[in-house]
Chains A and B, each alone.
Chain A
Amino acid sequence: NAGVTQTPKFQVLKTGQSMTLQCAQDMNHEYMSWYRQDPGMGLRLIHYSVGAGITDQGEVPNGYNVSRSTTEDFPLRLLSAAPSQTSVYFCASSPRLGFYEQYFGPGTRLTVT
């Protein structure tokens, strides 16, 4: 199993551009989530999904959209990037809702200029 994979590894955007961060898992996990990590801030939950077709907001959802059309994939969309979205983004998954042992991907480092 590859576990949780994320692409791209690095990305530079200009303010106002849009992009999609990709996340996939091959463990048949129901639960998937997105976090951002800023220096000195730990990880903060952006959005999560408890199954295909079901998404919900986390602690810091503004400026981000998600969808979950399949069990395997959970893309994160930035519709109009802002410098405040410069961060490292991690996708995570776990077998089901309420099972808190989450498996993290390697991250995407995003810089918005």
Chain B
Amino acid sequence: GQQLNQSPQSMFIQEGEDVSMNCTSSSIFNTWLWYKQEPGEGPVLLIALYKAGELTSNGRLTAQFGITRKDSFLNISASIPSDVGIYFCAGPIGGADGLTFGKGTHLIIQP
């Protein structure tokens, strides 16, 4: 099946730093989604992207739909403690009506 590769697997940053993470696929996607999951909770949608080259912001978060349609990027500016969590990229599964997820990027903010 389709695989989404996320990097980095984890990030240890200081409060106030900017964060960048990405997601790549061997297949073309028509939609990219970015979710955040906090401990003991379900994933929460952050940003949805529908068009190659699209750049969309949600507060301090900005995501881009790569021109090749095989990658997407998420940036967080001026990180704060509540940004801690696991960030997942996701896209439509080929052959079934649901989402395929990357393995996530763990964001840890050091005091």
A→B interface (CB under 8 Å): 4, 31, 33, 35, 40-45, 48, 50, 56-59, 90, 92, 97-98, 100-107
Q: Complex Cα distance A43/B101, Å?
A: 6
**By the criterion CB–CB under 8 Å, are A100 and B42 in contact?**
no
**By the criterion CB–CB under 8 Å, are A50 and B48 in contact?**
no
Q: Does B31 interact with chain A (Cβ within 8 Å)?
A: yes
**By the criterion CB–CB under 8 Å, are A31 and B42 in contact?**
no
A-B contact pairs, 24 of them (CB 8 A): A31-B97, A35-B98, A35-B101, A42-B88, A42-B101, A43-B43, A43-B88, A43-B99, A44-B101, A45-B100, A48-B97, A50-B97, A56-B97, A57-B96, A58-B93, A92-B42, A100-B33, A100-B92, A101-B48, A104-B42, A104-B43, A106-B40, A106-B42, A107-B41
Main secondary structure of the interface of A (DSSP, over half): strand
Q: How large is the interface on B (under 10, 10 to 19, 20 to 34, 35 or more residues)?
A: 20 to 34
Q: Complex Cα distance A44/B93, Å?
A: 10
B→A interface (CB under 8 Å): 1, 4, 31, 33, 35, 40-45, 48, 88, 90-93, 96-104
Q: Complex Cα distance A33/B101, Å?
A: 14
CB distance from A69 to the nearest CB of B (A): 20
**By the criterion CB–CB under 8 Å, are B41 and A106 in contact?**
yes
Q: Complex Cα distance A104/B45, Å?
A: 9
CB distance from A26 to the nearest CB of B (A): 16
**Complex A-B, nearest 5 residue pairs according to Cβ-Cβ distance, in ascending order:** A104-B42, A42-B101, A45-B98, A43-B101, A42-B103
